[in-house]
Amino acid sequence: MGVVNVTPDSFSDGGQWYGADAAIAHGLELVAQGADIVDVGGESTRPGAQRIPAEEELRRVGPVVTELVRAGVPTSIDTMRAQVAEFAVSQGVQLVNDVSGGLADPDMARLVAAAGVAYVVMHWRGHSRDMYARAVYHDVVAEVRDELARRVDEVTKAGVSPDHMVIDPGLGFGKRGEHNWPLLASLAELSVLGGRRFPVLVAASRKRFIGRLLAGPDGEPRPFSGSDDATMALTALAAAQGAWCVRVHRVTGNADAVRVAAAWRDARRNDAVLAIGSNLGDRLGILRAAVTEIANLPGTELLAVSPVYETDPVGGPAQPEYLNAVLTVRTGLAARELLGQLNRIEAAHDRVREVRFGPRTLDIDIISYSDQTSDDPVLTLPHPRARERAFVLVPWHDIDAEATLPEGSVTDLLAGLDRDGVRRHPESLLP
């Protein structure tokens, strides 16, 4: 996404593309450099900026979006006002990039819903004039994720389809330098809200936290235009984490970084062991659908599927018996990304998490992920209870008798477990 600021006061390039002719020419130049989308904005959101009238914002961006769309350029409008977005959409703009996430204008979400265009919901705590006063966090990743989830819920209630939403962690907006780095390092975690994975837009280009990182010996931050090379590094890292799009001032170099990251992701594939189970509804049908959905995940190949076993529930309230199986997959998704996708599949099958060890339509656990280890409570690797679960080890042994866990081989671990509650089911998960 290439940036066209039709403003006299934007933080890094204010005034360069202020006139309509200059802005249109710059947008066309960005496309020639490889931009997939051109983002046009007429109101500066730099720290301390004051708002301008809607009429002035429209005067600035109106001719620019009109001509870019007419030239066949995929165009987005960077605005917090439904009035401005409505005009842009009427001209053929395909995406509304709202840095307030719908908080600045209560009509924005309804406008986007009616138009059926894509909508960027950014994390935001207030206007530029006092944004840093709100930059107080105990756990910035958890708080940004939770606040984004609430905004997504509200925007959904207003009629916007989640399929049309993109989320943005809002780097620099109500965040100090030390807040931005953890967010950049946690894009996979931030992308999963309410069990659903959303595309992520990253807008780090030329922001102050980069200039401060690159400060000279005298402590003077690097000038905005001097941080473009560092922006390319962030672009590569964000793309390698699975970001949907990066918003940048210079497309040349960043487009190359995206291609390098894509090749890196395609080459980085890991083997994972997944345990799946169901004890509500059409158990076999749900598991069969889940296997198909897992096999269709991006960059993922299904290697093996175990026989199905009917098993007694372990813990929790009285409930029906489970059908369980184990899969092995090879995937280019990072472990957290894979977890997010599996949570999305569970949610699509009405998985409910209200009761610990309670009944469920679909349960998918990552048992192991290559040789990675993690003590993160969100995703502990290998699964901490796999060694004591016969309903996992029995089907796993069927497809990989040489498999091991840190505590020993699956064969040896099974020898010490009671297998009476694990019974072979006559049906298969594969045709």
Handedness of CA 388, 394, 400, 402 (dihedral sign): positive
Alpha-helical regions (H) of 1-137: 20-33, 54-70, 82-90, 108-115
State in words which class domain 2-266 has.
alpha beta
C-alpha 369, offset from chain centre: 20
What does the mean pLDDT of the chain come to?
90
Where are the strands (E) in 332-401, listed by range? 363-369, 374-376, 379-381
pLDDT of residue 241: 84
pLDDT of residue 197: 75
pLDDT of residue 355: 62
Task: Please check the confidence at residue 251 and state whether its pLDDT lies above 90.
Answer: yes
Q: How many CB atoms lie within 10 A of CB 147?
A: 15
DSSP three-state, residue 302:
strand
State in words which class domain 269-424 has.
alpha beta
Lowest mean pLDDT among 192-201, 209-218, 242-251: 192-201
H/E run at residue 270: strand 270-278
Tens of pLDDT, residues 334-390: 899 899 999 999 999 988 766 666 788 999 999 999 988 888 888 999 999 999 999
pLDDT category of residue 18 using cuts at 50, 70 and 90: low
Percent of the chain with pLDDT over 90: 66
- Cα separations (Å) of 127 from 43, 45, 124, 132, 396? 12, 8, 8, 10, 54
Judge whether 247 counts as a catalytic residue.
yes
Among candidate residues 125, 222, 247, 389, the one labeled active-site is: 247
Among candidate residues 207, 250, 351, 387, the one labeled active-site is: 207
Task: Please check the confidence at residue 10 and state whether its pLDDT lies above 70.
Answer: no
Domain boundaries, the chain: 2-266, 269-424
Q: What are phi and psi of 136, to 5 degrees?
A: -125, 120
Percent helix, strand, coil in the chain (nearest 5)?
A: 40, 20, 40
Judge whether 207 counts as a catalytic residue.
yes
H/E run at residue 305: strand 300-305
Q: What number is the average pLDDT over the span 103-132?
A: 90
Q: How far apart are CA 68 and CA 70, in angstroms?
A: 5
pLDDT of residue 354: 63
Task: Please check the confidence at residue 320 and state whether its pLDDT lies above 70.
Answer: yes
